[in-house]
Amino acid sequence: MTRFAATLLLIPLVSTIAWAQQESAKSETRITSPTPEQSEIPTSVKPGINSNFIDPELNVDDWIARFEVESREVYQSRREILKALAIQPGSRVADIGAGTGFFTILMSKAVGNKGWIYAVEISPKFTQHLTALFAERNLKNTTTVFCNDRSVCLPPNSIDLAFICDVYHHFEFPKQTMLSIHDALADGGRVVLIDFERIPGISREWTLGHVRAGKKVFIDEVQEVGFELIGERKIAGFKENYFLEFRKTNR
């Protein structure tokens, strides 16, 4: 067979391969097309809400003095909160917005050697602090996770409980963030959300200005992305905060 004839025979074959590749690419594109939720352009509910925390000049010691003080309800009630969480040995827990790490340390003891705690943070400085803190305390069951404003950056089915304490109102993109938590939770996994009561005429001016919405709005937002409200627990030391528990459902 001459080289010219061989070339003529190859042309249809190459065309067939190219057509098959194009059709395969089209098929793959259809399969991996984003869902409406993924295609939706997120809108910030409160632009700049985390500017203090992502500041590269943030002084962690200043925040330790603010967060780890008995006059702060969630710190004063930390052991009662831990008890209400009912964390079982071997559990996998994400401390979302772990801050200075005091809850993470308590929970690392609760889950024991067979459990795991993910300390999730959007703040570079807090992330550095947490990593150093856990190394200093020789915690072998704790990982620091540097997240972003739309995702907690955890693998699917990697946790049994997501703990969100005085942090939900700092979610700039709450729908996207909660969807990422939904994906990270195992089937039947729980979310505990603690935040400030926002009641005009009753709540402090600071709360009214800082927290964008009240409890009912937050409940509706969380339920909208695939969670059911199990109930609200009463914490004896709470005057300004509430404790809500949700369970993951199918979306």
What percentage of the chain exceeds 70 in pLDDT? 84
- Token pair 């002084």: residue: 59
Of 45, 93, 64, 69, the C-alpha closest to 192 is 93
Which are the contacts of 208, defined by CB distance < 8 A and separation ≥ 6? 198, 200
Of 134, 155, 152, 156, the C-alpha closest to 143 is 134
- Cβ count within 10 A of residue 87: 24
- Average of per-residue pLDDT values in the chain: 88
Query: pLDDT tens for residues 157-203?
Result: 999 999 999 999 999 999 999 999 999 999 999 999 999 999 999 99
Residue 251: predicted pLDDT:
75
DSSP-derived secondary structure for 15-31: HHHHHHHHHHHHHHHHH
Edge-to-edge strands of the sheet including 185-196?
142-146, 116-121, 92-96, 159-165, 185-196, 241-248, 227-233
**Of the ranges 32-36, 42-46, 212-216, which is most confident?**
212-216
Residue 122: predicted pLDDT:
98
What tokens were used for 193? 């959300």
Question: For residue 9, is pLDDT > 50?
Answer: no
Of 219, 215, 212, the C-alpha closest to 240 is 215
State pTM to two decimals: 0.84
Question: Taking a C-beta distance cutoff of 8 angstroms, is the pair 130, 144 a contact?
Answer: yes
Residue 219: predicted pLDDT:
99
What tokens were used for 104? 């993470």
Q: What is the 3-state secondary structure (H, E, C) of 121-190?
A: ECCHHHHHHHHHHHHHCCCCCEEEEECCCCCCCCCCCCEEEEEEECCHHHCCCHHHHHHHHHHHEEEEEE
Residue 36: predicted pLDDT:
55
What tokens were used for 113? 């050697």
Residue 105: predicted pLDDT:
98
Query: pLDDT tens for residues 98-110?
Result: 999 999 999 999 9
Residue 37: predicted pLDDT:
56
Residue 5: predicted pLDDT:
40
CA distance 163 to 160: 10
Residue 1: predicted pLDDT:
44
Question: For residue 216, is pLDDT > 70?
Answer: yes
What tokens were used for 192? 């505990």
92: enclosing H helix or E strand: strand 92-96
Residue 41: predicted pLDDT:
81
Residue 174: predicted pLDDT:
98
